Structure 1
Amino acid sequence: MTTLAGAALPTLPSTLPGTAAPVRMWLPEQETEPAALDQLRNIASLPWVHGVRVMPDCHLGKGATVGSVIAMRGAVSPAAVGVDIGCGVAAVRTDLVEEDLEDLGALRSAIEQAIPVGFHEHSAPVPAGTLTRIGARAGLDRFWEGFAALPEKVQDREGKARRQLGTMGGGNHFAELCVDSRDRRVWITLHSGSRNIGKEVAEVHIAAARGLEHNQALPDRDLAVFLADTPGMDAYVRDVHWAQEYASRSRAIMIGLLRETVAAHWSARGREVGFDMPVNCHHNYVSIEEIDGADMVVTRKGAISTREGGLALIPGSMGVGSYIVRGLANPDFCSASHGAGRRMSRTAAKKAYTRADLVAQTEGIECRKDRGVIDEIPAAYKDLHAVLRYQSDLVEPVAHLQTVLCVKG
């Protein structure tokens, strides 16, 4: 097990005072943005909320705090999932070791050719032959049949959604090659979501919820909810599950394309590559779970489930890499952080840092070093190692993966 060095930890979780429903935090209150604390109090004031759990990467979000796990009785708030429905991570270990790494500039170019990033998309949906070759999940045709049930407003987006399946997007989404700090094995890691279709589905439902009569007196209308056994909630749950599957399938396709690209890179050098230990999990999603002996609607916005005790990936930044962790199934909502979390907004990061700062902070890493990704500079993120120390009762670190190559949109 990886040892996490650091100073003595505060006693966590702590309870946020002055809330209607209990809010338990795996981050010291004094290290949390005042605006995020206000937002957590607003969430806890909703009459349907049973409890809130706050992960150590939490920061201000729209409506609901990023890094929050919310259990509700008979209701769901679309903002508590967010607009990137099904956003999550994937990873796979290779049998390469650090000494095998060479010509990473050419490999980065090959990855960027294989996987569209930013606003780009495939010129046509990934062909069935390619999906078979890379071992993509079966049942894609049946999955697409579900598109017809999505809101009418998005029905003309199907072509775009098909072309964006298996594409990365921008912002903090990435594909990386990383080196395990223990045995120097090379991993492929990925962070992506449901692209434009997930965003549009979410926005349709958030707008619909805001207009409902029972939401008019809320402290923050962005927290508007659908109530159980109503057409609005039924439609949202159906659509959010479709978008979650879209995101999961998209990650699986990209991992397949990444494996193929990495394998081709080393095959040209006479080296066959093996892969194992696959990971693929959401961190923006909704599920029905038993909480304190009752079935409740649980939303995770920037949090992973540890209920099954399996492997997950918790990313940091281009400069720090990620952790492979094993969930400890802590019965207190069975959750953990989804990453390091931002310590400053994108706008603030662009004002505070220069391209020279980005170059210095990503020294030795094959990645973009232009002004277009300054908002993703490592200093804009919290200390990933501290984030892991704060949640030692939630996850067990298995490996620290140091980034050596990063592709961003």
Structure 2
Amino acid sequence: MGKKLSGRDLIHMGFPKNNSVNIALGQIQRYKKKDTKERILKEAKEILVAPGNFIGHPIWGKVAEQLVNPIKVEMQALRANRVPFQVFGENEIDELAKRQLYDALKLPVAVRGALMPDAHGGYGLPIGGVLATDNAVIPYGVGVDIGCRMSMSIFDIPATYLKGRTYQLRNWLAEHTKFGMVETHKIKHEHEVLDRPEFREIPLLKSLHNKAYKQLGTSGGGNHFVEFGIVKLDRVHPEWHVEPGEYLALLSHSGSRGLGAAIARHYTYLATKQCPLPKQVQHLAWLDLNRHDGQEYWLAMQLAGDYAQACHEDIHRRMAKLLGSRSRVTIANHHNFAWKEIVDGRECVVHRKGATPAGAGVLGIIPGSMTAPGFIVEGLGNERSLQSASHGAGRLLSRAQCKSQITKSEFSATLKSHDVELIGGAVDEAPMAYKDIRKVMQLQSELVQVLGTFFPKVVRMDK
């Protein structure tokens, strides 16, 4: 079997005594366990003779790349000074989040950065951190939940529909939405994203296809939710076919589930091996977009983002069918992703980890908490924020602090006072855990303008 093959076999064949041997052994162990030693050696010989023919190959591309253009692995030194940056709402942001951004601004690949008013500490980039880099993508700059996003459907149903129907809406959410690691839909819907070639061509994604199929249309744990509420439209976008007023709406928040988490883990591991960094910034290891792994991560990230979108589409389709209505307005945006955008006159990779795209005219949703309003916004294209805004209110208390400081009775009383029905949810997601969303919105008035307001009424979260 392939696992019996050793580095000596490859060196005896003619492989140079460098990292190409380790890379080859790693790929063999990961993807060629079921092949015979003879077959693997035959393929290895073909790569050694003509490595250029294997550049871009899903399994052997990394080996061929190392033979043609070896990666020089060496400790990366941070710059002495930070690249330009802007912090919005500095007095409302904890020191950990600021320090994490300041460290990221010293990366050799950093170009510019920003911190949103809802920011708090995370891994790699802080939550609410935005970082532009030069031809490099940082898996933990995107985050574990790749493509985590907001999605809203506004129905041509008056807000008064909610009166007397709370129990019905509660049952629909309880029965037709699925959360966490275990719950999946009994009747699964097909989606074209599952037929994407990346699932066949990238070995890691091929191994995740079945999980992606099972989890389609489900939501994660933590702060993810699906909720019915009332949306009040103060301004109407030219593309919307509704009048200003109050309507029934559905809002969901979730990401790419196990697919995105596995992608994040895998490529973060590869980044840390190729890009050693000082201990305090090791989660900021990056992948070069000119190299095999960087290009492969970019494809996998795009797929995870599209998969997250597909999950929301499935959720909203199910709820619309139960309502017997179609969405008149759909608004959605990622807030854990990376984009290629022009910064300071050149193309950069802009990471938004817990930040909403806010380019000029770009629509988005910034939620509050389960009792605080969320806002439909239009970006103003502010370059100082790298055309970004907050992705929510931001945490005020950690999960541990919530469990020690907030009682279940206080939690229930707050929900009752705001006339909100909750299914699932724990005290670590209590409204008191979050900053004042209205204050956060004031601190970013130069980043977005508000078009409408959403008030949660029936909320479903993980149990």
> What's the offset of the Cα at 1:308?
5.1
Equivalent position of 1:288 in the other structure: 340
The CA distance in 2 between the partners of 1:326 and 1:227, in whole Å, is 33
Amino acid at match of 1:39: Q
The CA distance in 2 between the partners of 1:249 and 1:23, in whole Å, is 34
Higher helix share: 2
- Spell out the pairing of 1:197-212 with structure 2 (5 A cutoff): 197-212=259-274
The CA distance in 2 between the partners of 1:140 and 1:195, in whole Å, is 14
- Spell out the pairing of 1:333-352 with structure 2 (5 A cutoff): 333-352=386-405
Task: Give the secondary structure class of the aligned counterpart of 2:175.
Answer: helix
Indicate conservation of the 8 Å contact 2:220/2:257, yes or no: yes
Largest Rg, 1 or 2 = 2
Indicate conservation of the 8 Å contact 2:360/2:378, yes or no: no
Equivalent position of 2:177 in the other structure: 115
The CA distance in 2 between the partners of 1:312 and 1:82, in whole Å, is 19
Equivalent position of 1:148 in the other structure: 200
- For structure 1, the 5+ residue unaligned runs are 1-17, 132-138, 264-272
- Spell out the pairing of 1:207-286 with structure 2 (5 A cutoff): 207-212=269-274, 214-217=275-278, 219-263=280-324, 273=325, 275-286=327-338
Confirm whether residue 353 of structure 1 aligns to residue 383 of structure 2. Answer: no
The CA distance in 1 between the partners of 2:88 and 2:253, in whole Å, is 23
Indicate conservation of the 8 Å contact 1:22/1:50, yes or no: yes
Shift in CA distance, 231/259, structure 1 to aligned 2, threshold 3 Å: same
Task: Give the secondary structure class of the aligned counterpart of 2:371.
Answer: coil
Amino acid at match of 2:358: T
Higher relative contact order structure (alpha carbons within 8 Å, sequence separation ≥ 6): 1
Equivalent position of 1:42 in the other structure: 103
Shift in CA distance, 202/352, structure 1 to aligned 2, threshold 3 Å: same
> What's the offset of the Cα at 1:98?
3.0
> What's the offset of the Cα at 1:97?
2.5
Moved more, 195-204 or 329-338: 329-338
- Spell out the pairing of 1:36-185 with structure 2 (5 A cutoff): 36-101=97-162, 102-123=164-185, 126-128=188-190, 139-140=192-193, 142-143=195-196, 145-152=197-204, 155-181=206-232, 183-185=245-247
Shift in CA distance, 150/59, structure 1 to aligned 2, threshold 3 Å: farther
Indicate conservation of the 8 Å contact 1:57/1:339, yes or no: yes
Task: Give the secondary structure class of the aligned counterpart of 2:426.
Answer: helix
**What is the TM-score of this pair, normalised by structure 2?**
0.76
- Spell out the pairing of 1:299-310 with structure 2 (5 A cutoff): 299-307=351-359, 309-310=361-362
Task: Give the secondary structure class of the aligned counterpart of 1:367.
Answer: strand
What are the superposed Cα offsets for residues 192-234 of structure 1, whole Å, 9 maximum, x if unpaired?
A: 100011001101111111112x423364111111123111211
How many pairs does the alignment contain? 368
Query: Which of 369, 387, 391 is residue 317 of structure 1 equivalent to?
Result: 369
Confirm whether residue 365 of structure 1 aligns to residue 420 of structure 2. Answer: yes
The CA distance in 2 between the partners of 1:228 and 1:401, in whole Å, is 39
Moved more, 373-382 or 345-354: 345-354
What are the superposed Cα offsets for residues 363-394 of structure 1, whole Å, 9 maximum, x if unpaired?
A: 111113x6x51111001011111111111111
> What's the offset of the Cα at 1:141?
5.1
Equivalent position of 1:187 in the other structure: 249
> What's the offset of the Cα at 1:247?
0.7
Equivalent position of 1:12 in the other structure: none
Amino acid at match of 2:165: D
Indicate conservation of the 8 Å contact 1:27/1:390, yes or no: yes
Shift in CA distance, 151/51, structure 1 to aligned 2, threshold 3 Å: farther
The CA distance in 2 between the partners of 1:141 and 1:39, in whole Å, is 36
What are the superposed Cα offsets for residues 121-170 of structure 1, whole Å, 9 maximum, x if unpaired?
A: 43557234xx6xxxxxxx44532x32133453x64432221011111121
> What's the offset of the Cα at 1:276?
1.3
Task: Give the secondary structure class of the aligned counterpart of 2:421.
Answer: coil
Amino acid at match of 1:354: T
The CA distance in 1 between the partners of 2:131 and 2:282, in whole Å, is 17
Indicate conservation of the 8 Å contact 2:287/2:294, yes or no: yes
RMSD after superposition: 1.9
Indicate conservation of the 8 Å contact 1:350/1:374, yes or no: yes
Confirm whether residue 402 of structure 1 aligns to residue 452 of structure 2. Answer: no
**What is the TM-score of this pair, normalised by structure 1?**
0.85
The CA distance in 1 between the partners of 2:382 and 2:97, in whole Å, is 24
Task: Give the secondary structure class of the aligned counterpart of 1:250.
Answer: helix
What are the superposed Cα offsets for residues 311-339 of structure 1, whole Å, 9 maximum, x if unpaired?
A: 21101100103111111122331111111
Indicate conservation of the 8 Å contact 2:194/2:209, yes or no: no
> What's the offset of the Cα at 1:256?
1.2
Task: Give the secondary structure class of the aligned counterpart of 2:333.
Answer: strand
